[in-house]
Amino acid sequence: MRYISTRGTAPELSFADAALSGLARDGGLYVPASWPKLDAAEIENFTGLSYVEIACRVLAPFMEGSISDAELKDFATQAYKTFSTPEVAPLVKIGDNDWLMELFHGPTLAFKDVAMQFLARLIDHLLQQRGGRITIIGATSGDTGAAAVQAFRGSEAIDIFMLHPKGRVSPVQRRQMTTALEPNVHNIEIDGTFDDCQTIVKRLFQDLGLRDQLSLSGINSINWARVVVQAVYYFSGAAALGVTDGKVAFSVPTGNFGDIYAGYIASRMGLKMDRLLLATNVNDILVRTLASGRYELNEVVATHSPSMDIQIASNFERLLFDIFNRDPARINAAMTSLAENGIFSLDDTAIADIRSRFAGFRADETETLAMIRDLHARMNYQADPHTAVGLVAAQKAREQGVIADDVSIITLATAHPAKFPDAMVAATGIRPELPAHMNDIHTREEKCASLPNDADAVAAFMRNHAAILGNGTSV
Ligand SMILES: *Cc1c(COP(=O)(O)O)cnc(C)c1O
C-alpha cells in the first residue's frame, strides 16, 4: 500500500516511511492511496478469533510491501502480551443493548496503549532493518506521554524526549513517565502550560537543522500507523456481539478525532455499522461543526476529561480529504482559511455526507459527573470521566431517536477511573484503586529534568543528551 498526503505535494511513501515520518513535508497527513476492503464473509468469521488474529487480518493490507504477515503477527503478539487481559478490549454489558468496550487494560491504563505498544515494536523493527536511529519528541497533557514512555523505554535505536507542563498532570500520569529510569527516556517538565509545551515542540520541528541532526520523529495521532491500529477494536467489538448486519453503533469520546477516525477506517474497510457517535466535553468544536457546517476555533476550557480539552482536531483533515473527493486543493483552501481567519465552512453536500456517518453530542461537566454517579449507583461500575462523556452521548442518541432501540451501542471506555481520582471522588465520593501491579507507583524513584518555557533551552538539552549525537548519558 502507498500513502499520499492530504495536501497533495509531499512525496508518496510506503507504509514504513509513513510510520517513521509522522507529518508530511507539505504540512498534510498521510492516508492510504485507496481503501482496502475486507469481504463480508471474512468479517463474519472474526467471531471466535483472538484479538491478535483479528489485528493481523485488519492491518495486513495497510502494511503490505513493508511488513510481512509473520512480522505483523509478532508485533501484535508482543504488544498485547503487555495487557492484563488476553481479550485486550473486553465488552461489559451495561443495559439491554448497551455495552462498554474497556480499552484501558494496557500498561498505562488508557486506550493510547493499544496503538503505542504496537507502534514501538514496529518502529524498533524498522530501525533495526535500516540501521538508523531516531529521536522522538512529544508534548503531553498526560496520557499520550505516559503511553509513549512506557512503550519506548529501553528501545535501543530510539531516544524519547517528552515535555509535560510542570504541576499540571496528575500524579499518576507524571509517575507513569518519570519512573522510567532507562537512559533513552528523557522527561522534561516545562515551567508553563500544555500549549507552551506544544509550541516548543512545533518550533523544534521547524528548526530544520535540529530536525535533521536528531532525526526527529513524532508519535501523536497524526502518525498514520498509530491511528490505523485503533481500527482493530471496532472489528473485535462487533465480532464479540456477533453483529455483522450493521445494527451496531459506537460512541467515541473525542479530542483530536483520532480514535473516532479509526472507526471510520473500519467502516471504509467494510465493517457495517450505524452512525459513529462523536462525543465531546464542552470543548465542542466538532459537535458545532456537525450542527452548523462551520469549523470555528474557540477558547479551550479545562474539564474533568482533560485528554479531550483540545480545539484543533488534527485528524479531521483526514476525513475531510475523503469528503472533498480527495481533492488537495480543497483541503489547502480550508486550512488556509483556518490559519488566517480561525474558521472554514463546509458546503451542504459535504456536511450532509459527514452527517450520514457521524452524529455529534456534547456533555457538560454536570452531565458527565451525573452519568458517573448514576452508573455507579445502578451497576456499581466506575466509568472514568472521558468514558462518561461517551455514555452521555449514547444516552442522548437513544433519547433523540438517532439510534434505534434494536441497535447495540458500544461506548469506548478510554481510561481507567483510577487515572482521574478527583473527578471520581467528586461524582461518587469513592476513590478508585489502582490495579495491584501499580501499587508502588507513588514510592518509585523518579527521573525528570526541569526547564524554563524556552525552545532554545530544550534544543540545547536535547543536543546534550541525544544518543544519536554520541551523548548517550542519562539525565
Ligand atoms: C486521548 C484520549 C481521548 C481522545 O482521543 P482522540 O483520539 O484524541 O480523539 C479520550 N479519552 C482518553 C482517556 C484519552 O487519553
Q: Mutation test of ligand 1: which of 103, 105, 140, 143 has the most ligand atoms closer than 8 Å to its C-beta?
A: 143
Which pLDDT does position 313 carry in this prediction?
84
Domains with residue ranges and CATH for the chain: 91-108+228-428 (3.40.50.1100)
Query: Is any ligand 1 atom within 6 A of the Cβ of residue 308?
Result: yes
Buried-exposed string 400-435: b where 16+ CB fall within 10 A, e elsewhere: eebbeeebbbbbbbbbbbbbbbebbebbbeeeeebe
Q: Which residues are catalytic?
A: 112
Buried-exposed string 320-353: b where 16+ CB fall within 10 A, e elsewhere: bbbbbeeebebbbebbeebeeeeebebeeebbeb
β-pairing verdict for 2-5 and 30-32: antiparallel
| Ligand 1 centroid from CA 414, angstroms | 7
**What atom of ligand 1 comes closest to residue 384's alpha carbon?**
13
Q: Mutation test of ligand 1: which of 257, 259, 300 has the most ligand atoms closer than 8 Å to its C-beta?
A: 259
List per-residue pLDDT tens for the chain, 475 residues long. Answer: 999 999 999 999 999 999 987 678 788 899 999 999 999 999 999 999 999 999 999 999 999 999 999 999 999 999 999 999 999 999 999 999 999 999 999 999 999 999 999 999 999 999 999 988 999 999 898 889 999 999 999 998 999 999 999 988 888 999 999 999 999 999 999 998 887 888 898 888 888 899 889 998 888 778 899 999 999 999 999 999 999 999 999 999 999 899 999 999 999 999 999 999 999 999 999 999 999 999 998 888 889 998 888 877 889 999 999 999 999 999 999 999 998 999 999 999 999 999 999 999 999 999 999 999 999 999 999 999 999 999 999 999 999 999 999 999 999 999 999 999 999 999 999 999 999 888 899 999 999 999 999 999 999 999 999 887 876 543 3
Which pLDDT does position 473 carry in this prediction?
45
Which pLDDT does position 471 carry in this prediction?
65
Q: CA nearest 345: which of 293, 298, 287, 297?
A: 293
Which pLDDT does position 448 carry in this prediction?
97
Q: At what angle do helices 385-399 and 365-379 cross, to 10 degrees?
A: 90
| Ligand 1 centroid from CA 253, angstroms | 7
**What atom of ligand 1 comes closest to residue 257's alpha carbon?**
9
Which residues touch 217 (CB under 8 Å, ≥6 apart)? 20, 21, 22, 123, 134, 135, 136, 137
Query: Is any ligand 1 atom within 6 A of the Cβ of residue 259?
Result: yes
Q: CA nearest 161: which of 460, 445, 470, 415?
A: 460
Q: In this structure, how many other beta carbons lie within 10 angstroms of the beta carbon of residue 130?
A: 12
Query: Is any ligand 1 atom within 6 A of the Cβ of residue 303?
Result: no
Query: Is any ligand 1 atom within 6 A of the Cβ of residue 187?
Result: no
Query: Is any ligand 1 atom within 6 A of the Cβ of residue 170?
Result: no
Which pLDDT does position 467 carry in this prediction?
83
